[in-house]
Amino acid sequence: MIMGKIIIAGIGPGSQEDITPAVLEAVRQADAIVGYKYYFQFIEPYIKEHCECIDTGMKKERERAEQAFDLAEQDKTVVVISSGDAGIYGMAPLIYEMRKQRGTDIEICSLPGISAFQKAASLLGAPIGHDMCIISLSDLMTPWETIERRIKAAATADFVTAVYNPKSHERYWQLYRLQELFLQEHSGDTPVGYVRQAGREEQEVKVTTLAQFNPEDIDMFTVILIGNSQSYISDGKIITPRGYYGNPERGDRSQEKPGQLIMIQSFRTIAGELRKDYPLDHQWALLHAIHTTADFEMEDILYTDPGAVETLYNKIKDGTLRTIITDVTMVTSGIRKGALQRLGIEAKCYLSDPRVAELASSYGITRTQAGIRLAVEEHPDALFTFGNAPTALMELCDLIRKGKARPAGIIAAPVGFVHVKESKHMVKPFKDIPKIIVEGRKGGSNLAATLCNAVLTFDDAALLKPGRDL
C-alpha cells in the first residue's frame, strides 16, 4: 500500500525570519498541515493553494498526531508544525511514539527549528557559553516531585538553566519554589534573563538577578534563563564565559587549584549528608567544622547565634573589625594568610609577647590569661578566638563584665576536661556579641581556626566554593 509521510517541523519561536529554509520548503510542498491554530499565522504566506489545514486548540496534541497519521495513510505529505524546535517539548516525541503504538511504517522525518531558549539567549547576550540544561515546570505529564528533584540537581551542578512553561493560571507557585531552590545554591547576584513572546511583535526582554527576579512578571509565554556561578552582566547583557578570559566581573574563579577542587567536592559531599537544612551562615560554619574534624556530631554541638557568621563578615567588610586575637599560636597558624591579606585583617597571639610571662607570674594566672589581658588593653574590640585554654575564655568573660572588653565577636572552641564546658556556658549570656561555640568538651585549635576561616570567606558560602585562599 502506498503511504504518504509525516514531516515534523519546528517553526521557530514566532517570527517568519526565524523559520529555517528547510521548514519553509516543507510547508510549501505539504498536502496537509496540522498544528495548534495560533501557529498558522506564522506560515500562512507559504501555504500552497488547496493545502488542507487542520488547526486545533491547546492540549490537543494527541488528536493532532492521530489526524496526521490518518492523512498520511491517505498518501498525503503531512507537515505537523510545532513552535520552536519540535523535538524540545514539541510534537516529535509524540509522533514517533504513536507510530510505534499504531504499528505503522509511515515515513517520519523531523526538521529542526530555532528553539525559544536559543532565541531568548541571542536577545539576552551570551548566557549559554557553558554547560546548560532545560527544565519545564509543567506538571501535566511529569510529577512535581520529579521536577523539583531536577531543579535541585541543575542548581547544585551549576548549569546555566533555561526554564520552559514557567507559569499558568493554575501553576502560580512553582516558579517561586524554583527561585527558592536556586538561591540555596547560588548567589543572589546570579544573572537572570527572561524574554516574553520571543521573536514576536509583543516581545519583551528583561535582565535582572536571582535575588531581584519577580515571578509575578512572568507568564506562560515567557522563557527564563538563569546563569551559572561564572555568569555576569555587562552593558545590560548576560555573559557566561567559556573560559578564555575568566570573569572580569567576579574575578577569574574558573581555574580552581587542585586543593580547592578537592575541598569543594568535600563540602558538597558533607552538605549532601547533613540531616537537615540550616540557615546559610550556620551551614557555612558547620561545613568547615565537619570538614576539619570528619565528625558529624558537629551538627549537634556547633552553636552559632542567629546570623553570627554573616554579621562578623560584614564587620570585616565595613572596616569595624580589623583584628583577630587567638589564645594560642596554633590557632593563628591555621587562619588562612591569603584571606587575611585579601581582607586587610591582622591575626595576633600574645603568648610570645615578653610581657606575658611577667604578668602571669605577678598575678598567679596562666600565660593564656595574661595574653588575653594584654590583648584587651590594645584591641578591646577584636574578634577573640579560643581553641585551647578555657581559662583564657573565662578571663575574657570577666573583662567583658567589667566593661574593659567589647569584642566584635567570640569563637569559643577550647578543648579539655577542666572548666571547658563552664567556660562556654559563661559566654552565652552576652546577647549583643555574635558568638560561635563548639559546645561540650570538644574543640581545639584546628576547629577555632577553621571557624575563623568560615567567617573570612562567607562571601563564598552561597556558591558553596570554599578554599579560595588555599
Spatial separation of the C-alpha atoms in residues 113 and 231, rounded to whole Å: 26
Closest CA to 12 of 26, 29, 24, 25: 24
Contact of 321 with 408, CB cutoff 8 Å:
yes
Nearest to 285 by CA among 113, 72, 170, 437: 437
Q: Which three cell numbers stand for residue 108?
A: 517520519
3-state secondary structure of 370: helix
Triad 186, 250, 206: Cα angle to 5°? 65
The x, y and z cell numbers of residue 310, run together, are 554573616
Residue 303's SS3 state is strand
Q: Phi and psi (nearest 5°) for 211?
A: -70, -35
- Cα separations (Å) of 140 from 59, 83, 137, 165, 170? 10, 19, 9, 11, 11
Q: How far is CA 66 from CA 58, 63, 80, 254, in A?
A: 15, 5, 11, 50
291 is catalytic: yes
At 465, list the grid cell. 566554593
Candidates 423, 409, 411; CA nearest to 447 is: 411
Tell me the CA distances in angstroms from 361 to 117, 126, 365, 392, 404, one per residue in order.
Answer: 74, 68, 7, 15, 22
Please state, in angstroms and rounded to a whole number, the distance separating the CA atoms of residues 423 and 435.
Answer: 13
Contact 51, 31 (CB under 8 A): yes
Q: Mapping DSSP to helix (H, G, I), strand (E, B) and coil, where does residue 337 land?
A: helix
Residue 384: all three cell numbers together: 577573640
Distances (CA, A) of 404 to 302, 377, 379, 389: 28, 8, 10, 20
Q: 186, 288, 291, 379: which is the annotated catalytic residue?
A: 291
Residue 131 and residue 159 in contact, taking contact as beta carbons nearer than 8 Å: yes
* d(C-alpha 444, C-alpha 413), whole Å: 6
Q: CA 78: distance to chain centroid?
A: 44
Q: CA-to-CA distance for 458 and 465, rounded, in angstroms?
A: 10
Q: Which residues are catalytic?
A: 291
